[in-house]
Each structure stands twice: as structure tokens, then as C-alpha cells.
Chains A and B, each alone.
Chain A
Amino acid sequence: MNARLLRQLAVFALFCAGLCAPAAHAQTTPGTHAAAAAAWRKEFDDVCSRTEQAMSFSIEQLTVLVERCDALQPRIDRLEETQRKVYSVRLHQCRGLYAYVLESKKNEKQEGKN
């Protein structure tokens, strides 16, 4: 009897948790919410968290980072208008920096040869 009541309570609690979780989520800031939910955002955060280390990357590593940025663009183009606007600008800055440092490193290598 007691065990059954407990089980019922447990099921009920699980049910409640299920109901509450999405509601609680919706109240957090869009930034954190998206980070937990969306794969594109995880990739964005991963790629663009390294801009300040750019000088320590090799030409090969920088090339990969630029390619990963390019692969993200079509995914960002499919977002709703506010996120598309915000993240297009952020991706533009992030890609631009990697491309800039890449070019600088390529030039340096050229000069080294001469």
C-alpha cells in the first residue's frame, strides 16, 4: 500500500517536472536557452570562442576555423529574423578575424622565404 502510494507520487512528480521544465526554460535569457538547445549555437560558441587565441594557431588550424565559419552561415540564414540579424554580424566579425590573421601568417611565411 505504502509502496504503491510512493510509486504514484513518484510518477506524479515526474509528470510535474515534465510540465515545469519547458516553462522554466522559456524564462531564461534567449542566449542561455539557445546555448543549451541549438546545435548551431554550440558550433558557433565553439568556433568563435577562440578569436583571442588566433595568433597562436597555425595556417592549417586557421583555415579549418574559416571553413567552419562558412559552414555555419547557411544555418544562421535559416534562423528567425532577430537571431539571424544578431548572429550574422557576430559570425562576420569572427570569420573576418580568422581570415585576417590567416592572411597575415601567410604573408609572414612568404617573407620568410625571400
Chain B
Amino acid sequence: MNHRISVVFLILLFCIPLASQTGTKKKRPLPYDYGRVVISNYSESSGQPPVVFQHWIHRSMFTCRVCHVDIGFGMKANSTNIRAVDVQRGFYCGACHNGHTEVNGKKVFAACTAKPSFDEQKRCERCHSMGRKVQSDFDFFTFSAPLPKERFGNGIDWEKSEEMGLIKPAKVLEGFTIPKNQLVVQKDFDLNPKVEGMPDIIFSHKKHTVWNGCELCHPDIFMGVKKGNSHYTMVDISEGKSCGACHVNVAFPLTDCQRCHSKPVGEN
């Protein structure tokens, strides 16, 4: 009996990566393009090329929470509806890219202006860079060389990089993050496996809360109130539901089965 289940599981294990290769899914992005978002609601119609946003540059400096809770960026490309005026008023990209906010002792270059001078055009291109060959201050290979490796996604083990102190993503952006008196996180738990014989799923509430904040997950991504009540298949997840809201495009991808499907070692 037990044997039959593990055979079924093994078959599934084989089929899923296959299905994602032959299906409608786009081909796997290169490490430096994993987490790349093209924002193009308004640029083109106003004569600017679309904006290219790289997660790897930004997530090395800030937690997801700062941008996706405190600043209010949506969790899907183009869902935020960013206007140049919003940015000029100091919101969205303009929360940092305003010419005076300092990060790591350096003033962050400003974003959109209504009537850019000839000199300012160069600055526009740093973000409005789709389809252009633009000089960047950031080189992915130099950046990632000293960091612990991962097979998938950006090819970087982000969690370990942080643990080792090689990156220190800020949890706070002044004027946006509400000062909190304490951090009482709920007791950690593992998710129950739906298929018998499948290894338990590792999920740390504690770690995810520090990175993402409760309100990013509940109720928009996880609305089922009872533990393990809402079931998803790997197909749902690969379409961006449940864990897939982050683990398809930005956090380590679904190809890394064992990182979710095994017993945790020790207490988190």
C-alpha cells in the first residue's frame, strides 16, 4: 500500500517539471533576469520606453515588506498603476528615487520630472530602459560572486546570504514604515501534507513575517482561515496562487522541490 503511494508520488514528481517545460510556461529566465519586472501602463503612450525594475538589486537592500506593504507596490506586474506624478510627489519609486533619500551613504537618483533638460534625459533612461542599452551601476556577476549559490532563480541563496550577513536588507524606510513597538509573531507551524507519503511542507511563519509582513499574505494570498483548509495543487501554485504568489517570480522558484517538501531540521 505504502509502496504504491510512493510510486504515484515519484511519477508525479517526474511529470510536473516536464509539464512545466512543455506547457505554456515561458522559458526559464537567466539568473540576472529572474525577478525582472517590466512596468508599462503609461510610459509608451507618453513617449518614454517602458520601465525595467530588477528585484535582485532592490531586495539586497530592502525586505519585500518595505516595498509591498509600506510603500504599497502590488504583487503583480503593472497592478500598482504607478503614474509619473505619484513618483514626483515622493511615492512608489519616488519614496527612494527622489534625489535626497540616502541609502548606504549615497543619495538615490531621482525619478520622473515633467520637463527634463537634456542632461536629465540620461537619468530617465536608467529606469525607462526597455529595449535600450543602458549603462548600469550594478553588475550582477560582481554582485553575486561572493554570495552563497543556489541552483535556481537568481542562482543566489538569498536566505543564507542574509544569515551570513553578506546582505542586510533594511526593514524600515523612514516616513513609510510605521514604527512598531514589538514583534510578537505567532507560533510557527508546518503545513500538513495532502498526499499521504509526501514529505511535510516546510513553512516558517516567523521567517516569512520578517521578510513579508502578515498583511501581505493574509487575506489576499491566503484567505482560508483554518489551517490546511484551502488546498492547492502544484498546478495552482505554478499559476501564482498560494506560495506561487512569490515563489514563481521572485523568491526561489518551484523547481526547487526539496526546499519546500521535506521535514524541517530543528525548530525555526
Q: Which residues of A contact B (CB under 8 A)?
A: 27-33, 35, 45, 48-56, 82-83, 85-87, 89-90, 93-94, 96-97, 99-101, 103-104, 107
Q: Identify A107's interface contact among B81, B181, B226, CB under 8 A.
A: B226
Verify A96–B220 contact, CB threshold 8 A: yes
**Chain A binding site: helix, strand, loop or mixed by DSSP?**
helix
Given A29-B90, A45-B179, 15 more pairs with CB closer than 8 A: A29-B95, A29-B174, A30-B89, A30-B175, A31-B95, A32-B175, A35-B175, A50-B180, A51-B215, A52-B214, A53-B184, A55-B185, A86-B71, A96-B220, A97-B215
Give chain B residues whose Cβ lies under 8 Å from the Cβ of A93: 69, 215-216, 220
Kindly report which residue of chain A lies nearest to residue B98, judged by CB atoms: A29
**A–B Cβ pairs within 8 angstroms, 12 of them:** A29-B90, A31-B90, A31-B175, A48-B178, A52-B180, A52-B213, A54-B214, A82-B86, A90-B72, A93-B215, A100-B219, A103-B225
Q: Identify A49's interface contact among B74, B101, B180, B209, CB under 8 A.
A: B180
B199-240 CB mask vs A (1 if < 8 Å, else 0) is 000000000010001111011100101100000000000000
- Please list the 5 inter-chain residue pairs (A to B) with the smallest Cβ-Cβ separation, ordered nearest first: A31-B175, A93-B215, A55-B186, A32-B175, A97-B215
Please measure, in the bound complex, the distance between the C-alpha atom of A100 and the C-alpha atom of B215, giving whole angstroms. Answer: 10
Given contacts A49-B178, A52-B180, contact A94 B215 (CB under 8 A): yes
Q: Identify A29's interface contact among B101, B184, B214, CB under 8 A.
A: B101
Verify A86–B184 contact, CB threshold 8 A: no
Please measure, in the bound complex, the distance between the C-alpha atom of A51 and the C-alpha atom of B178, giving whole angstroms. Answer: 11
Please measure, in the bound complex, the distance between the C-alpha atom of A52 and the C-alpha atom of B214, giving whole angstroms. Answer: 6
Give chain A residues whose Cβ lies under 8 Å from the Cβ of B95: 29, 31
Give chain A residues whose Cβ lies under 8 Å from the Cβ of B186: 55
Verify A55–B90 contact, CB threshold 8 A: no
Q: Identify A89's interface contact among B72, B89, B223, CB under 8 A.
A: B72
Give chain B residues whose Cβ lies under 8 Å from the Cβ of A99: 219
Q: Which of B85, B185, B219 has the most CB of A within 10 A?
A: B219
Please measure, in the bound complex, the distance between the C-alpha atom of A101 and the C-alpha atom of B226, giving whole angstroms. Answer: 10
Verify B69–A90 contact, CB threshold 8 A: yes
